[in-house]
Structure 1
Amino acid sequence: MYALWESTVVCEMKAVITVIFADPRIDCVIVDAVVAGLAENPAAPADVLLRRWPETAAYGLRRRETLPMAVQEAMAAHPLREVRSVLAHHRDVDPGIRARLLDDADWGIRHAALGRPGQRPLADPDRTRMMSELCEPPADDRRPTPEELFEDLAMADPENILFAARHPDHRVRRIAALRTWWRDEMRVLLTDPDPEVAAVAAESIAEHERIMRPADLPDQHCHAFWRTLHRPLSRELAEQVLTSGDREAILSMSRNPSLPPDLVNLLAGHTDPEIRVHAAYREGLTGSQIAQLVADAEAEVRAAIGAHAGLAAEHVARLAADPDDGVRAAVATHAHLNAAERAMLDGPITDVALAARSAHPVLRRRAAGRPDLPLDLVAALAHDPVDGVRLELARHHPHAPAELLLRCYLENPRQSDLPSRPGFPLTGLARFADHADPRIRRLVALDPQADPSVLIALTEDPDAGVRQTMARCPHLPADRIIALLNHPELARHAAANPAIDVVAVLAQLPPPEAPAP
C-alpha cells in the first residue's frame, strides 16, 4: 500500500514539475536558482550539473558540507577556473587534490590552494615541495611576494610556520625566522646552521622585544596599529595614546603589561568607566590602585575589581556590603575562593572538578567549556544560575542535555549553531510557529511531527529567513516544494530540499543556452 502511495506521489510530483517548467514565464534567473539549489542537494548528481551548468553548479557546490571524491576529481579537472576555484576554497577538499591544484595554470587557483582555516593539512612531502616553490621570486606583478605567501600559510594553519622552521630549504627557514618570536619552538632557528637564517631569527627576537615609540604607531587604525599597542611601549607612546582621546586605542592598550604604574593610575582614574573596568582586570595592580577601584563610583568597575585575586580582607568586607547586587555577588564568589582556585583564575585550569564546583562563575564557565567534563558535573552545570556557564556547556560538551540546548538557543540570539549540536530536541518545536522572534519560528522546520499546514503557512512568513528555512524543510508537502521552484526568492532553497525528486526536476530543466560565438 505504501509503495502504491509513494508511486502516486512521485507521478503527481513529476506532473507538477512538467507544468512548472513548461511555463513560458519562467526565466533563466529561476532556472539558475534551481540549478544552484540542486548543486547544494547531496542527492543531486554533481557530475551532470557540472557538465550542463558548470558555473551555476559550482556556486551551489561551494555550499555543500562535504564533496564526494568523484565530484572533487571532476572539479579539479574542469576547464573553468571558477569550478576549480570553488574546490580550492572548499573546506572538505582532499589534501591530495589540493596539492595538485598547487600546480594549476592559474595563479589565483594556486594561491587559493595554499590553504584556508579548517582545511585538512597537506601531506608533509607536498608541504615541503610547495614551500620551496613559494620561495621563487614572483614571475609577474600579480603574484604576492614569498613573505606575503607565507603570511597566508600562517593564517590558514599556524602549524605551517613550525613546519617551515624545520624545512630542509634554507630559503624557507629564513622566511620562517621572521616569526622566531612567535613560539619557543621557533628559537631553534637562533642556532640554525645557515648564518643568514640565524641572523634573521636574532633580528626577529630583537624587533619583537624592541620598545615601541611614537614613530612606530601608524596614523590610522589597522592590523599594524593594534599589534604595536600590544608590544612593549615606551613611556612617550603610552602617554601619547592616553592623551589622544582615541577610546578604542586606550582600551586596546589598557591590558599591556609594559605600562608603568603611574600610567596605570591614569587608566584607573579615567573618565570612561569601561576603561576603568579594563584597568580592574589587569594583573599586578598595586594596593593603592586596587583601593581606588574598590571605591569607584560605578558599580560595573567595583564588580570587576571584586573578582581580582589581590583583594585584601578590608576590600572584601567593603564590597560585600556594597549597595549593588552585582558587586556583592562578584565579591561573594571571590571571598570563598581557596588558594588553588585563586591560582586558576589567572592561569590554566589544573583541576576541572574543583573549577566546576567553585563559587566563582569565571572558573565554572571555564570548566563548562571543557568537552571532557565528567557527566555528573555536566548535570550540575546544566542548571547553573549564570547564563554564561550554561551557554559554554551547551556549546562545547558532546553530552549537553537536550533541554539545556533548547533553553540556550531561546535565550541567546547569536547562537545559531546550537540546533545542529548533537542532542538538540526536535519533536515539539512546532509550538513555536507563532513566536514573535523569526529566529525561533525557524525551529519549526526541524520538527518531524509538525502539521503540514503549519509548514506551508510559514513559507509565506513575513521574515525571509523563515520562508527560506521552510522551503528547505524535508517535511514540507511535496506539492508545495515543487510549487516553490517557480518562486523567484525560494526556488534555490526548494531545489536544495532533500525531499525533492531530483531526477524529475533535472528531466524537465531546459538545456543551458549555448555560449555566444
Structure 2
Amino acid sequence: MDHLLLGLAANPALPSALLGRLVDCVIESGPDSVIAEVAVVLAERPDLGPAHAAALTAVYGEKVAVCLAERGRLDTADVDPAVWPLAALALLRHGTAPPAWARVLAAAPDALHRRLLAAEPAVLSAEVVDLLAADPDIDVVAELALEAGPELAARLARHPHAEVRLAVAHNRATPPPVLRALLTGEGLPAARACLVCDQEPVPFSHDPQCGRADCDLPADAACDGTHQSTGHRIRRAALGNPATPGEAAAHFADSPSVLLRWSLAGHPDLPQTAYARLAADPVPGIRMELAGNPGVGSAVLGVLFADTASHEVLRSVAHRADLPPEVVAGLARSPQAGVRRFLAQRRDLPDAVREALAGDPDAGVAARAAAHPGLSEARLRSLLDRFGDQVAAGIAANPDAPAALLEELAGRPHPPRKALRAIAAHPRATARALCACLADGRARRLAAGRPELPVPDLLRLLTDRDWRVVEAAAANPALPAGVMADLVAGAVPAEVAGDGAAPGVG
C-alpha cells in the first residue's frame, strides 16, 4: 500500500490537473496493484468529476461504486443489484433505487447481503419484510427484529426461535407490553429453538474451558429443551431496555443473578424502592451503574454519595449530567482527593467550583481542572508555576490556552508526552510549538496534518518510518503543489505520464 498516494488522494488542496493524473495512474495500475486502496479514497472526494468517477468504477467495480452511492453520486442505471448488491443497498438507503431492488436483495444467495437489507426495514415494502421474516438464516430475521418498528417487533416476539426474541428484547421500539411478556414469559408461545440446540444435542451445558476450534457458543451456553441460557439473555436485554415497564422490571431487584441485577440498575423508570434495594447491593459494579442512572432520586443518590468504600461508585455519581448543585458542592469539598479528581474531570462546573478545584492543593485535582474552559491565562500560569509538568497536559488541553503558553509548554526541557499530543491537536498551536511536538511519535501523527507546520519539517515527514505520519503529511493542504506533482509523477506509469515521470519525494 502506498501511503504517500493515499494521503495525497485525500489532500483537499490537490490541484484538479494532478487529481486527473492521479486518477489515470490508479486506473492504469489496476485493481490488483499496491495502490488499489487509493481508488476508494479518490471516490470520496467531492471534486471528483463524473468522467473520473465512471472510469474508476469501471476498473474497481463495487468497491468504488459503494462510495459513490453513499454520496448520492451513482446513477441507478449503472448498477445491477444482482451483481453489485452492496452498491444497490447503498442506493436503497439513499432513497434513489427502485423498490423492486429490495426483492432482488431479499433473495440474494449471500446471507450477509440479506442481513444488511434486514437492517433497513424503514425502506422495505411489506412484501419484502415478509420475505426476510421467513428467511432460513436466523441471523437475518434477528437483524430485522433488532431494527423493527413497534408492529413488526410485536409480531417477531412470537417467533419460534429464541435468538429472534432476544433481538426484539434489545429493540427500543418494541411496545412495553411485549417487553413485559418477554421478561416474564406470560402471553407468548414457548420458543422451539435456540442457537445452542441448533448445534448440540440436548441436554447440553457448555464447558467454559472448551477448546474446540470450531465452537462459537458463549461460555454459559446451555439448553435442556427450555433454551435457558438464551432465555437469561432475553431477560437481561429486556431489563436493560428503558421501554420495559418499570414495575415489571422491579421484581428482579433481588434476583440471584448478578447480571440481571446489573442490567436492571440502568433502567431509568423503576420505583424508588427498587433503586434503594439496588443501592445496598454487595456488587460495586451494580452500585456504580445505579449511580449514573438518571431515574435515581435524591434519597438514593445520597446513599450512593455516602458510599466511600467504592471509588467507582463515587466517580459515577460525579459524572452524572443532572447532579444537584448541593451534591456538586459536597463533592468539591470531599476530604478524599480521588473524589475531587472525579469531579474535576467535568467541563460543566459552576465558576466557583471550577476555580476552587483549579486552586486545589492536590496536583491530580489541579491537573484535571486545568483543562476546564473558562480559566484565565493568569490562572493557567499559576497552575504551571505551582505544579510544573504535573499539570502541563491539562493546560495544553484547555481550549482557552493562549498560543504563547502552548509554546512555553512545548519548549520545556522534558515536556510530558501527553502535553505534546494535546498541543499537536490544539487549534492555537503555532509552528514553533508544533515543531517541538515532532519528538513524540503519536504527537507527530497529529502535527503532520497541521497546515501551520513549516514546510521543511513537513517534507521530512514524507519519509517518516511511521506510515500514519506519512499519510497525514501527504494529506496536509500546506504541501507545495510542486511536491504534489513530484509524488504523482513518481507513481504514474511511463505510458500514462507521457513525457516521463519525475522522481517522487522519498
The alignment's TM-score, normalised by the length of structure 2, stands at: 0.52
**Equivalence for 2:182:** none
How do residues 277-426 of structure 1 correspond to structure 2 at under 5 angstroms? 277-278=262-263, 280-281=265-266, 293-297=278-282, 301=286, 324=309
The alignment status of 1:266 with 2:251, answered yes or no, reads no
- Partner in structure 2 of residue 59 of structure 1: 37
| Residue 449 (structure 2) pairs with residue 472 (structure 1) | yes
Name the amino acid aligned to 2:416: A
How far apart, in 2, do the equivalents of 1:151 and 1:328 lie? 40
State the alpha-carbon separation in 1 of the partners of residues 472 and 315 from structure 2: 48
Contact residue 6 and residue 471 of structure 2 kept, 8 A = yes
- CA shift at 1:316, angstroms? 8.2
User: 2:430: which partner in 1?
Assistant: 450
Deviation at 1:427, TM superposition (A): 4.0
Q: Secondary structure at the match of 1:53?
A: helix
Determine the C-alpha separation between the residues in 1 that align with 2:326 and 2:301: 15
Q: Offset of 1:53 from its aligned partner? A: 3.4
For residue 285 of structure 1, report the CA deviation from its aligned partner. 7.8
The match for 1:502 among 461, 481, 501 is 481
Task: Find the aligned partners of 2:481 and 2:493 in 1 and give their Cα distance.
Answer: 21
Change (3 A) 1:49 1:439: farther
Task: List per-residue Cα deviations over 1:361-399 (Å, max 9, x = no partner).
Answer: 9xxxxxxxxxxxxxxxx996676979xxxxxxxxxxxxx
Asked if structure 1 preserves the Cα contact closer than 8 Å seen for 2:159 and 2:191, the reply is no
Change (3 A) 1:213 1:426: farther
Q: 1:500 to 1:252 in 2, by over 3 A?
A: same
Of the three residues 117, 122, 143, the one matched with 1:153 is 117
Q: Which residue of 2 aligns with 1:493?
A: 472
Q: Which among 472, 478, 481 is matched to residue 458 of structure 2?
A: 481
CA distance in structure 2 between the aligned counterparts of 1:445 and 1:482, rounded to whole angstroms = 19
Aligned to 1:174: 131
| Distance in 1 between residues matched to 2:272 and 2:425, nearest whole Å | 57
Are 1:122 and 2:112 counterparts? no
**Partner in structure 1 of residue 368 of structure 2:** none
Q: Deviations over 1:415-466 (max 9, x none)?
A: xxx99xxx887845445536423475253354556244x433433x242x32
Aligned-pair CA distance for 1:500: 1.2
Moved more, 41-50 or 62-71: 62-71
- Give the aligned CA root-mean-square deviation in angstroms: 5.9
Distance 1:41 1:99 in 2: 29
CA contact (8 A) 2:11 2:477 kept: yes
Distance 1:214 1:205 in 2: 5
Partner Cα distance (1:288, 1:402) in 2: 39
2:79 pairs with 80, 102, 107, which one? Answer: 102
**Would the alpha carbon gap of residues 475 and 214 (structure 1) be closer, same or farther in structure 2, given more than 3 Å must change?**
same
Q: Aligned letter for 1:477?
A: P
Q: Distance in 1 between matches of 2:292 and 2:101?
A: 49
The answer to whether the 8 A contact 1:181-1:204 is kept is no
Pair 1:457–1:64, CA change in 2 (3 A): farther
Find the aligned partners of 1:48 and 1:290 in 2 and give their Cα distance.
65
C-alpha change, 1:171 and 1:449, in structure 2 (3 Å) is closer
Percent of counterpart pairs with the same letter? 17
* 1:165 maps to which of 109, 122, 125: 125
Matched residue of 1:43: which SS? Answer: coil
Distance 1:458 1:261, change over 3 A: closer
- Distance, in Å, in 2 between the alignment partners of 1:287 and 1:445 is 45
Q: Judging changes above 3 Å, is the alpha-carbon distance between structure 1 residues 254 and 131 closer, same or farther for their aligned structure 2 residues?
A: closer
Kept in 2: contact 1:472–1:494 (CA 8 A):
yes
Contact residue 214 and residue 237 of structure 1 kept, 8 A:
yes
Distance 1:293 1:380, change over 3 A: closer
Matched residue SS, 1:130: helix
Q: Given that residues 43 and 498 in structure 1 are in contact (C-alpha distance below 8 angstroms), is that contact kept between their aligned partners in structure 2?
A: yes
Q: Residues 149, 210 of structure 1: CA spacing in aligned structure 2 closer, same or farther, 3 A cutoff?
A: farther
Give per-residue Cα distances to partners, 1:165-211, cap 9 Å, x unaligned. Answer: 35xxx356533675478544544998xxxxxxxxx998689974554
The 1:503/1:86 distance shift into structure 2, 3 A limit, reads: farther
Match of 2:46 in 1: 68
Q: In structure 2, what is the Cα distance between the partners aligned to 1:312 and 1:260?
A: 19
Judged with a 3 Å threshold, the aligned counterparts in structure 2 of structure 1 residues 330 and 149 are, in CA distance, closer, same or farther, namely: closer
**More displaced 10-residue stretch of structure 1: 46-55 or 424-433:** 424-433
C-alpha separation between the residues in 2 aligned to 1:89 and 1:325? 48
Q: Deviations over 1:240-269 (max 9, x none)?
A: 988xxxxx99977975879995895312xx
Higher relative contact order (CA 8 A, sep 6+): 1
Q: Distance in 1 between matches of 2:105 and 2:450?
A: 46
SS of residue matched to 1:114: helix
Aligned partners of 1:448 and 1:331: how far apart in 2? 33
Partner AA of 2:449 in structure 1: R
Question: Distance in 2 between the 1:34 and 1:97 partners?
Answer: 28
Note the alpha carbon deviations across 1:144-180, whole angstroms, 9 max, x for none: 15xx43421344xxxx3122135xxx35653367547
In 2 relative to 1, CA 310–507 (structure 1 residues): closer, same or farther, beyond 3 Å?
A: closer
Deviation at 1:42, TM superposition (A): 1.5
The answer to whether structure 1 residue 38 and structure 2 residue 8 are counterparts is yes
| 1:122 partner letter | H
Q: Are the structure 2 counterparts of residues 506 and 432 from structure 1 closer, same or farther at C-alpha, using a change threshold of 3 Å?
A: same
Distance (whole Å) between structure 1 residues aligned to residue 235 and residue 157 of structure 2:
31
Query: In 2 relative to 1, CA 326–500 (structure 1 residues): closer, same or farther, beyond 3 Å?
Result: closer
Find the aligned partners of 1:427 and 1:486 in 2 and give their Cα distance.
Answer: 29
In the alignment, is the contact (CA less than 8 A) between 1:294 and 1:305 conserved in 2?
A: yes
Range 96-105 or range 479-488, more displaced: 96-105
Amino acid in the other structure paired with 2:54 = A
Q: Distance in 1 between matches of 2:455 and 2:315?
A: 56
Instruction: Please identify, of 276-285 and 436-445, the stretch whose mean Cα deviation from structure 2 is larger.
Output: 276-285
Matched pairs, number: 375
Check whether the contact 2:451–2:476 (CA below 8 A) recurs between aligned residues.
yes
Map 1:189-228; keep pairs closer than 5 Å.
208=165, 210-212=189-191, 216-217=195-196
